[in-house]
Amino acid sequence: MKNIIKLIGVTCVMLLMSCNNGTSLQKYFVDHQGDADFVAVDLATSLLDTKKVDLSAEEREALESIKKVNFLALPLKDKSKARYDEEKTAINTILSSEKYETLMRFGSNGTKAVLKFQGDEDNIDEMIVFASNQEKGLALIRVLGDDMKPENVAKLMNAIDKGDVNIDAFKNILGEIDID
């Protein structure tokens, strides 16, 4: 009987230790989607007609490995300036979790950004881009997928940046959003 009580006690302690009272990135997105100060967009890549897009095999593989993109931004306006530091701190706290690994930090012209990921380096399941600018606001982008390969995603991003990939499908979805 004592062994059963000890086993139950140890199990309860382990369960309590494994629980995280901190906010997850998913919860942060859900909590802020209805907030009037934020701009929130969820895009399923299945909405894109990829057959009309001319992609290399690696670019197509990268696009097909991306399942969903969540976008959340806090544009700086008079009423949102007070929240900027608070929200930036909250996001940095979430992203400082051990489950996210930093891939790259970059910045210019007052904008600081960090690229983090979850999964292993060869097959990423989640990528996060967090950018902040004290004059413009902050943006948080979460890319969810299955076994995304960083080199293929980089090739896809380069093709988009060069204009080799027509992203009108995204522009049509995002067309009504004004975050400037």
Question: How are beta strands 66-75 and 101-108 bridged, if at all?
Answer: unpaired
The SS3 call for residue 136 is coil
Write the DSSP string, 18-44. H---SPPHHHHHHHHTT-TTSEEEEEE
Strands across the sheet with 101-108, in order? Answer: 39-44, 66-75, 137-148, 123-133, 111-120, 101-108
> Which pLDDT tens digits describe the chain residue by residue (180 residues)?
555 555 465 454 444 444 445 678 999 999 999 998 999 988 887 766 666 667 777 777 777 788 888 999 999 988 778 899 999 999 999 999 999 998 888 888 899 999 888 888 777 888 899 999 999 999 999 988 887 877 777 766 666 666 555 555 455 544 444 444
- Global confidence as pTM: 0.73
Any idea which residue has 């399941």 for tokens? 125
